[in-house]
Each structure stands twice: as structure tokens, then as C-alpha cells.
Structure 1
């Protein structure tokens, strides 16, 4: 596995980082609601820090106060340290209902010394099964790192610290549904999934290490807020509207996928013996 740093920032990636610093929220109390887990969800440091904890009785979660229809969402997360096997920290956008759309980051915990797995997925009209998984080029337990979703009419770009790791393009022209009509809210949760999360469920959660804690800061939503059945989006809030990867961005994406991707549904011949799903033929999927 290559340990070289990713290629230099492209103009788009510099833009992504710049807009992150422009749009960071300083107060979780005004932007999110703690939705379950009771006192296992805590906001502190004047609203700048949010922590979720997991014990044997329950995990915890929160959601954004607003729904969005297109935009760029950033969050700095420091994942559960030490032996995190069996735990999942989920961070995603989702609409509601049986035909929901969803854009997922899920961080699968591991035994001490073993790397986290970053699991990504895209649901359109209730259909997912588009998993890609990655290792990271740093220890996500040691410090905060920025995980971003750029969602516009052309594509969805998953990024880590400004480095794109996955692109899901709008392929409606070849009959693939794309999340474009349903507003989505940001959700995050910390929960026990030791029936599948670590080595397919072979490694169980060691509750002697509880409580497990994931920490959040720097939530930014440069996005079109959905309210009363319509999108409230000014021109200044649509800087990302037509953004896509340039040649340097594509180079960085290839670097990540060559060195750190560990699973791609498009290459799973056992799962798709008749050939990969139609969208897999598109560049960047």
C-alpha cells in the first residue's frame, strides 16, 4: 500500500477546503437535535463540541434541524479510540419513506491496532447495494478529520480532508435513478453492530472498554435549505452547483482508489455473476 501523501490540491479541492472554513458552524445547539440515547449525547464547549457515547444499554444519535436539497456538508469527526470492534459511527444524509434516498459514510470499528474501515453507500428510491469500502491513510481515532459530501445535480463526491475518495454520477440518461427530488436531513449515530461490523461479525464488542465515544466539531452546511415544500437557495449558496473534479481531482481519486479501496461492488463477480450494475460502466463510479 502506498504511503505517499496524496497529490497536490487542485483548484476544486482548494475551493472545497476554503468553503469549509467559510461555512463551519460554531454552535451545535442551533444546528442539530439530539434525537435518541438520552444523556449519551452531549453538547459542550459553548456548542462547539458534540459527543456520542455507546454502552451496553444503548448508543446515541443526532440529526440536523434542517433538510437540504443539494449542497456541501462538512463534519470534523474523531472516531472511537482503542478497541472499537463491533461499533459503527454512521454519518449520512437521508430522506424518509420506503423509496428514500441516502448518502452514507459508515465507520466500522476494529480491534486495537487494526484499521477502521470506511464504508460508503448510495441509495436511490429505496435501493442501495452500492457499497465501496476504504482504509484511510491516517489514524482516524487520533485526531479530528473532515468528512464531506458534495451533492449537486451532476454528481455526489465523497471527500476526506479535501481528498475525493468516491464519485457517484447522475446517470438518469441510462435509466439509473439519482437523488434529486427528495430533501435530505443529516444524521449521525454511534451504535453496536457486532453481528456484522468487524470481520463479518466474528469479532464482538468488548463491553469492558465502554463507554465508547465519538466526537464531532465543525459542522458546516453550505446548502439549499428545504422549507414549506420548496428550496430556499440564493445564488451565494450555490457556489458548488456545477462543481466537478478537474484533472488533479481525478488523479487524487485514482490514488485513493488504487491504494486504499478494499471493496467495490462493481468488481464483485460473485455477487453480480451476470455482470456489474449498469452504472458501473460510467467513469468515476
Structure 2
């Protein structure tokens, strides 16, 4: 019996270290700006961000992470959301920061959102891929996930992979693997560029604009006092897309991708970035 108790205690400590957060915004996040426009509700089970002409709002995770699988359910701003951006991303700090981005660019009523993704390594981004979603992201919550391990970054929507960014350091391509990152989200006005290149402006008569968040889960390595809880045995540390995942990602990219920096020859007349040459 004593042996079983010891095993259970060790397992519990491991789970606490690697699965740092399940669902409670009060425990796991700080509202960072917005002067009351961001709210944590339902005993920490729901968080809302709002934007009006005075300000947007935002929050960040209390913990920093180095590798893991992060899930967040988001219901985006409904109706005429033109000019608004709902950003949900991982980022470190400083001029050579790493960053993994989901950004949702609003649009006029009845038009689809643009899902914008990007990866920064050592302060350099410019790796944009954009998608239309195959559902209305404003009528219900949908799960947006980032898998980040030493080999790859995978962006997924409701469990469907939409993008993979592989570690190609062997080709001289920087990969985010050394800097711990917090989770951030913000709702803000970007009508100078967000909707149709800035041609459609925010209609402030529709304010306040509100996005909602729930069911946050971080199966991730927490970094505290310079030390990581990472273990090589974590299931996601070596996770990769299987044949089904690859097929689903190809379906999304074939039918719903609207921009890929790796095919933008006009932007890169001297040649595409190195990672674009790998299938």
C-alpha cells in the first residue's frame, strides 16, 4: 500500500508539473490592459475581451512555457467585425523574441474571417500563412491549438492541422526552441490594415466588440526560476503528424489557404526562404 501511495504521489507531481493549467482563468492568467474591458466570469471558467473606441483589452498567462500543447476555445466577435483583430499567441520578450501566432482578422457582416498565422524565430517573422475557416467562428466556441516541440510547430483548428513549421536548423533556418514563452491574447483596433488592406474601417456604432474564451488547457513544460519541468517522456515532445493528419492538413491548405509566403515570388524576387524549398 505504501509503495502504491508513493507511485501515486510521484505521478501527481509529474502531472502538476507538465499539465500546468486546465481551465481556470483566475488561476492561470492576468488581465494586463483594457481598464475593465476584460472580464473573468463564471468562477474563472469564462474570459471575455472587449473593444470600443476608447481601448481594446488583453491578458497573459502567469506561467512561461517551453514546449507543449496549448488549447484554447474562442468565440470570435460576431456581426460586423471589420477593422478588429483578435490575437492569440505565444511569445517571449526582447528584440530577438520568438513567437507563434494565431490572429483573426475581422470582416463585414456575412464575410468570412481571415485566420492569419506566423512564426517568429530570434526576432524574425515574415512567415505568414492565411486561411478562411470552413465554419462561422462567431456562433460557437472552437478549439485553436498550438503543438510546439523541438522538432515542429503545428497549428490546429478543432483538431484539424492547418499548418506545420518544421525545425530546419540543419539548413540554417532559426527555430524557436530556447526561449520560454507566455500565452497572450488581445482584442484591438487595426483598421489601417486588418480588413481588405485597410479599405474597410471599424464601424464604432457596433461597439463594444467582444470575444470569449473558455476551456484553456496547457499540457506544457512550465519554466520557473530558469528551470523547466520538461521530460522527454511527455507524449507531445516527439509528436508528429500521422498520415491522417498530413492528409487533413493538405485538404485545408488546398481548399482554404488564401496566402502562403512560400509561394509569394513577388515578395521574394531573389529566391524563396530556405524552409520553402522543403516539401
- TM-score for both structures, normalised by structure 2: 0.92
Query: Contact 2:130/2:257 (CA < 8 Å) preserved in 1?
Result: yes
What is aligned with 1:259? 255
What is aligned with 1:228? 225
Look up the SS of the partner of 2:63 in the other structure.
strand
What is aligned with 2:36? 39
What is aligned with 1:105? 102
Distance 1:234 1:216 in 2: 29
Residues 1:66 and 2:90 are matched in the alignment? no
What is the correspondence of 1:162-177 to structure 2 with a 5 Å cutoff? 162-177=159-174
Q: Mean Cα displacement is larger for which, 268-277 or 256-265?
A: 268-277
Return the offset for 1:23. Answer: 8.1
Distance 1:132 1:232 in 2: 32
Residues 1:154 and 2:173 are matched in the alignment? no
Residues 1:117 and 2:114 are matched in the alignment? yes
| Structure 1 residues 196-236: Cα deviation after superposition (integer angstroms, max 9, x where no partner) | 00000000000000000000000110000001111113566
Return the offset for 1:148. Answer: 0.2
- Of residues 156, 175, 178 in structure 2, which corresponds to 1:181? 178
What is aligned with 2:265? 269
Distance 2:21 2:113 in 1: 26
Query: Contact 1:77/1:216 (CA < 8 Å) preserved in 2?
Result: yes
- Of residues 274, 279, 282 in structure 1, which corresponds to 2:275? 279
- Of residues 192, 206, 214 in structure 1, which corresponds to 2:203? 206
What is aligned with 2:45? 48
Distance 1:142 1:26 in 2: 21
- Alignment gaps of 5+ in structure 2: 1-18
What is aligned with 2:131? 134
What is aligned with 1:8? none
What is aligned with 1:26? 23
Look up the SS of the partner of 1:40 in the other structure.
coil
Q: Mean Cα displacement is larger for which, 77-86 or 239-248?
A: 239-248
What is aligned with 2:82? 85
Query: Contact 1:24/1:218 (CA < 8 Å) preserved in 2?
Result: no
Q: Which has the larger radius of gyration?
A: 2
What is aligned with 1:3? none
Look up the SS of the partner of 1:276 in the other structure.
coil
| Structure 1 residues 104-152: Cα deviation after superposition (integer angstroms, max 9, x where no partner) | 0000000000000000000000000000000001000010000000000
Distance 1:133 1:235 in 2: 32
What is the RMSD computed on CA atoms of the aligned residues? 1.2
Distance 2:43 2:163 in 1: 34
